[in-house]
Amino acid sequence: MNSFIENQNWRYATKKFDSSKKIESQDIDILKEAVRLSTSSYGLQPYKIIIVENPDLKTSLQQAAWGQSQIVEASHLMIFANDVNFGPEGIDSYFKNVSEIRNVTMESMSGYMNFMKATIAAFTQEERNNWSAKQTYLALGNLLNAAAELKIDVTPMEGFKAEQVNEITGLDKLGYNATLLATLGYRHIEDATQHFAKVRKSNEELFITL
């Protein structure tokens, strides 16, 4: 079987982590790079990711996540947060980065830059936030796949109070809003869920070929 498919069959949403096991720093670096290299609309990456290691901070965040035990048991917690005010400044920053990395002038990219600004400007505030929030899910996908390759467990979570998470971490002051949580670590031997057969739709149910 293809190793990627094997990894996908191996992974699951871990319900109980072994709190005695910590992810090595070099593996965290690999996961960060996987998230950094994730695809995003126009390559703009309109989000920020906070990595939480501090036990006291994780305890505070647990209260904002309906008391879910994975928050404090896991080695690390990642908070994905979208930029709620993304606009021309973010696009200018992106093209400045392109200019430096690819050694091209800003003027040579002005047409595409103005097109992107016009596209984003046409969004309502709600549409813009929906768009930037969706980008965080793409980054989460890269995290899940990279972690499975390293045999690191990840549990994605949408069950939390974003306003509380924003306040606890200071995201609200930075202009970001928490959209996703992901706990990272190693499954506990007592987590019975790891032995459950994976349940997914069949190819016939899921796919339509036209």
The pLDDT value given to residue 179: 98
Q: Is residue 125 domain-resident?
A: no
Distance from C-alpha of 113 to C-alpha of 119, rounded to nearest angstrom: 10
Mean pLDDT in consecutive groups of 10 residues from the start of the chain, 210 residues = 92 98 98 98 98 98 97 98 96 98 97 97 96 98 98 98 98 98 98 96 98
The pLDDT value given to residue 43: 97
The pLDDT value given to residue 195: 96
Q: Which residue has the tokens 């930037």?
A: 132
Q: Which domain holds residue 172?
A: 3-85+132-206
Number of independent structural domains in the chain: 1
Return the SS3 of 82. Answer: strand
The pLDDT value given to residue 171: 98
Q: Is residue 124 domain-resident?
A: no
Q: Is residue 107 domain-resident?
A: no
Return the SS3 of 83. Answer: strand
The pLDDT value given to residue 1: 58
Q: Is residue 90 domain-resident?
A: no
CATH of the domain at 11: 3.40.109.10
